[in-house]
Amino acid sequence: MQLGTPHGTGAGSFGILAFGACGYTNLPGACCIAQGTLPFARDAVAASADQNPDYPGSCGRCYEVRCKSGLLLNNERVPIRIVYPDLGGGNISTVGYFDGDTARPYLPSINPNVTDGEGRPFPGNMGEAQKVVDVRCYDENRSLRVRVADSCPCKQ
């Protein structure tokens, strides 16, 4: 394994896990391993947001994560709003955005038939009328373990 960038720095190629900020990638020419592949399972890695108070030194750290039903909150523990922009002339966008940030669309407003990674349909959002996201978990008792292998250069 090659460590290409210092632990917990923002350098790297966000979203391309094998070349992420933590630098975890297999060395070229290693026996039986393709260059640029991860030494960890792709479904067991995560990116740490650089605005997370736990961010410094997070590369390689492991976390156990589980779903918690309730309102989706931002870093300040305030419910994230779904904002449908005013397009002018009395027209309101049919696409909603998290806190009005057009780089973060509310996917069910684009495709109400969106499914998760296991093909399950979107269970609905009980907070939609209030323009917030009310998350319902399939199983709050299940968890998964992930290793930080990348960083997110954005406020989450």
pLDDT digits (tens, 9 = 90+) for 6-64: 444 445 555 566 667 787 765 555 555 555 567 777 778 888 887 778 888 888 899 99
- Which residue stretches of the chain are H helix? 107-110
Average pLDDT score over the chain: 79
Phi-psi region of 128 (alpha: psi -120 to 50; beta: other; left: phi over 0): alpha
What phi, psi does 98 have (nearest 5°)?
-65, 120
Containing domain of residue 77, as a range? 68-138
pTM of the predicted model as reported, rounded to 2 decimal places: 0.61
Distances 123 to 67, 104, 129 between C-alpha atoms, Å: 14, 20, 15
Count of structural domains, the chain: 2
Task: Name residue, tokens 């990348």.
Answer: 150
The answer to whether residues 134 and 72 belong to one domain is: yes
Phi-psi region of 50 (alpha: psi -120 to 50; beta: other; left: phi over 0): alpha
The answer to whether residues 76 and 131 belong to one domain is: yes
pLDDT at site 54? 82
Which residues pair with residue 63 across a beta bridge? 146
